[in-house]
Amino acid sequence: MDAYGYDALGSKEWLESDKLYRLGFQYAAVETLVREYFIGEEPFKGKKAYETEWKGKPKSIVYGRGDVSADAVIVRRPSPTEKTIPWRALLDYLPQPPLPLFVIDLSMKFLHTPEELSKLRLQLSVTLSVMREYLWDAHMSVTGTDEETAKWINEVMGVNKVAIVNARPSEVLWGYDADKVIILRPDASTPLKADDVMTADAFLLGGIVDKIPRPGLSRMLDSLVPWGVPRRIELRGSVIGVPERINRIVEILLKSRYLYDGDVEKAIITTMSKKDRVARAYREIMKYTSERKVDRVGGDFYEQLRSWLSLTYDEFLEAARRAHVEVAN
């Protein structure tokens, strides 16, 4: 917009209001790229739905009914009499190749039960939604997929530009010139650090949903990308309570890199669900009572946990009940 002298962008195409108000230009750009829209200098008026500042100047998105004029508008089919910018023009402003790349390998798909496969497909769909809040589809690749699997994934992903390929992760990563590859697995010997997150060219995850535990399965990833560096995501020395779903892991990586300057711990804590927090509180309560040889904890211990775990008191009580530990008033 700045390059073309536009300050207000409108849209004649449908946009989801919640995402527009929350994500603004990120959402508008992703929609333009994925749906192959044009930006045209056509007359348009609406209400101001989003505004931010760029190089000291306000830039806004105009949408819906209103009387605010836009300098350009997102359209599916441009008017032949107006100046237009095709969606491909946006690619000139994006990294090529699109790094960091997030690769999810499905070569172990055949081991899953029907219930696990259903959960896996849902997680892939949600992962794409998370990706679009920070980057866009080109930064995500699903490997080890035959034609049937690709169709199975696209049924829930909808219109997308994710690289869903029947190739090994190493082939894809080599093609993207990804030198520093972080392999995420919970049994890796070394924890993920800020420098890993901030400097990695790519992250490799196994498309594995372990409703039935399969110890050591994720180690297969090491052989798929020999130059990859295995790392585990841990919170204060433990993986207990760290989210396990693929979409949550990707969210942790994205938050850490783009919101928290490599702070993995903060990214984990802001991504944890209630189930994760209770599991971690249970672990901390058991550790506390075991070390002190007591069977009760006080409110001061809750405050201690709450200072870094974002734990509610009800969640603390639930964890204590599971541990059969009394909570002193």
Q: Which two tokens stand for residue 45?
A: 């008026």
Angle between helix axes 274-292 and 299-309 (nearest 10 degrees) is: 130
Residues 119 and 201 in one domain: yes
Single residue among 59, 75, 92 that ends a domain in this structure: 92
Mean pLDDT score, 99-124: 86
Residues 243 and 151 in one domain: yes
CA geometry: angle at 159 spanning 244 and 251, to 5°? 25
β-bridge pairing 140-143 and 163-164: parallel
Report the 3 state secondary structure along 91-115: HHHCCCCCCCEEEEECCCHHHCCHH
Q: What is the pLDDT of residues 224-271, one digit of tens each?
A: 899 999 999 999 999 999 999 999 999 999 999 999 999 999 999 999
Task: Give CA torsion, residues 77, 78, 79, 85, to 10 deg.
Answer: -170
Residues 209 and 319 in one domain: no
Single residue among 223, 247, 269 that ends a domain in this structure: 269
Whether 66 shows a pLDDT value over 90: the answer reads yes
Residues 74 and 118 in one domain: no
CA distance 306 to 272: 14
CA distance 131 to 102: 9
C-beta separation of 290 from 252 below 8 A: no
Neighbour-count burial of 3, counting CB atoms closer than 10 A to its CB (0-12 exposed, 13-18 middle, 19+ buried): exposed
Where would I find the H helices in 161-273?
169-175, 194-199, 220-224, 246-258, 264-269
Residues 177 and 305 in one domain: no
Residues 152 and 187 in one domain: yes
Residues 209 and 287 in one domain: no
Whether 212 shows a pLDDT value over 50: the answer reads no
Whether 216 shows a pLDDT value over 60: the answer reads no
Mean pLDDT score, 142-165: 93
CA distance 267 to 262: 9
Q: Domain containing 179 — which CATH number?
A: 3.40.1280.30
Q: What is the percent of the chain with per-residue pLDDT over 90, rounded to a whole number?
A: 83
Place of tokens 């073309």: 4
Whether 222 shows a pLDDT value over 90: the answer reads no
Task: Give CA torsion, residues 316, 321, 326, 329, to 10 deg.
Answer: 40
Residues in the chain: 329
Of 257, 36, 273, residue with least CA distance to 137: 36
Sheet holding 38-40, edge to edge: 45-54, 57-69, 8-11, 72-75, 38-40, 84-86
Q: Can you say whether residue 48 is alpha, beta or left, with left for phi > 0 and alpha for psi between -120 and 50 degrees? A: beta
Whether 116 shows a pLDDT value over 90: the answer reads no
Residues 134 and 248 in one domain: yes
CA distance 244 to 241: 8
Mean pLDDT of the chain: 93
C-beta separation of 123 from 247 below 8 A: yes
Single residue among 36, 62, 92 that ends a domain in this structure: 92
Residues 105 and 242 in one domain: yes
Place of tokens 């971690």: 280
pLDDT at site 315:
97
Does the residue 2 lie in any domain?
no
Range of the domain at 197: 101-269
Indicate the number of domains in the chain. 3
